[in-house]
């Protein structure tokens, strides 16, 4: 194993690992930037007020409790 490790050009290996780490950091930064700005509404839209569509009579009645035996 020592013979194989002595054949490795560590300078090129460290440069390659640095490039891979740089690419990973750039991809992470791009994805986080994209996700941060994805939730913004388009400019010019006004926020609206929520209007419920059901009225109090539209709900089902609750069951009555059973009597004690």
H-helix or E-strand containing 23? helix 10-38
Q: What residue numbers bound the domain in which 26 lies?
A: 9-37
Number of structural domains, the chain? 1
- pLDDT score recorded for residue 69: 55
Torsion on CA atoms 55, 59, 64, 65, rounded to nearest 10: -110
Answer whether residue 15 is part of any domain. Answer: yes
The pLDDT tens digits of the residues spanning 37-50 come to 666 666 666 666 66
- Cα–Cα dist 29/25, whole Å: 6
Answer whether residue 14 is part of any domain. Answer: yes
Answer whether residue 63 is part of any domain. Answer: no
- pLDDT score recorded for residue 52: 63
0.85 exceeded by the pTM? no
Answer whether residue 24 is part of any domain. Answer: yes
Answer whether residue 22 is part of any domain. Answer: yes
Higher-pLDDT residue of 33 and 62 is: 33
Whether 30 shows a pLDDT value over 60: the answer reads yes
Answer whether residue 30 is part of any domain. Answer: yes
Answer whether residue 69 is part of any domain. Answer: no
Answer whether residue 27 is part of any domain. Answer: yes
- Give CA separation, 59 vs 47, 49, 51, 56, 65, in Å: 28, 22, 16, 6, 18
pLDDT tier at 24, thresholds 50, 70, 90: very high
């Amino acid at each position: 194993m020592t013979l194989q490790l002595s054949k490795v050009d560590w300078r090129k290996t460290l440069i390659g690992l640095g490039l891979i780490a740089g690419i990973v950091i750039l991809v992470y930064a791009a994805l986080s930037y994209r996700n941060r700005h994805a939730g913004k509404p388009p400019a010019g839209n006004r926020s609206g007020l929520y209007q419920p569509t059901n009225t109090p009579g539209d709900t089902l009645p609750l069951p009555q409790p059973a009597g004690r035996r």
